[in-house]
Structure 1
Amino acid sequence: MNKLLLSSLFIFLITFSANAQDEAQIDCSDVKTGVFFIPSDDVVSFSTKIVRTENFQREYLSDGSERTSRLKWLSDCSYIMLPDAKKEGEDPSESLMRQYGGIEVTYVKRKGDTIYFTARPHKQKGSFDDLFYMIKIE
């Protein structure tokens, strides 16, 4: 009986350790370029298609608008997103993004093509508990 209990506990610990290690070591090698999709949800009422090169991304929102941003990579899994250029009639969110020095995005978990991330104003200290996700489609 004790051997069975010890064996079960050992298998559980190995499984738990492997899962924890997978989440701690996120593979971000293919997120610097590609096409991604962020679906609408209870917080954001529109979906977004993102076309990204290594240092630039264009967002196509389901409401018909577009945004462009420059990307400054801090690590393989973290970057600062900055509005591309100040322009007349700038979207209020772009103006706010500029005021805070950009939006810092950090990938925290990945399951296949679904990438979970946090996002916060770069110059604002602290962390946000909200977890967002996007799906790599190309």
Structure 2
Amino acid sequence: MAVDAIGSTLGTQQTELTNNNTINQDDFIRLFLAQLQFQDPMEPVDNREFLAQLAQFSALEQSRQLSQNTADQLTMSAASQAVSLIDRQVEIAGPGGNSTGRVIAVQFGANGPELSVRDSGGQVSTGVRLSQVSLVQPVSTP
């Protein structure tokens, strides 16, 4: 899931791999045991090779977990940014030029948070991504 930061223009990147391209720890152990079971008894595989494979898989699993944790942290950061914009005056970059309005709601979907912005004429724009926000004005005190 791609996560937008305020003012950035990130492309849509797919960070989740399909199930066909992944192997979990159980699959690795099954593969490992099958390799042991069907090895040539006249030329057994060296124990060091097995340990090296196990170490490589362990490092790969740790890397996958780190990547997932980073993605989760980015998701939480985007959610926090979006919530902090509620009732703030923002400028939005759009296909027809920039527009200004007040953030009235945040919706969380599969593609990250989306803002609902009401302009001075009362029109509400929904589905505004964080990457479309080009300016955030401070909250004015009465």
TM-score by length of 2: 0.35
Query: More strand by proportion, 1 or 2?
Result: 1
Query: More helix by proportion, 1 or 2?
Result: 2
Task: Specify the structure having the higher radius of gyration (Cα).
Answer: 2
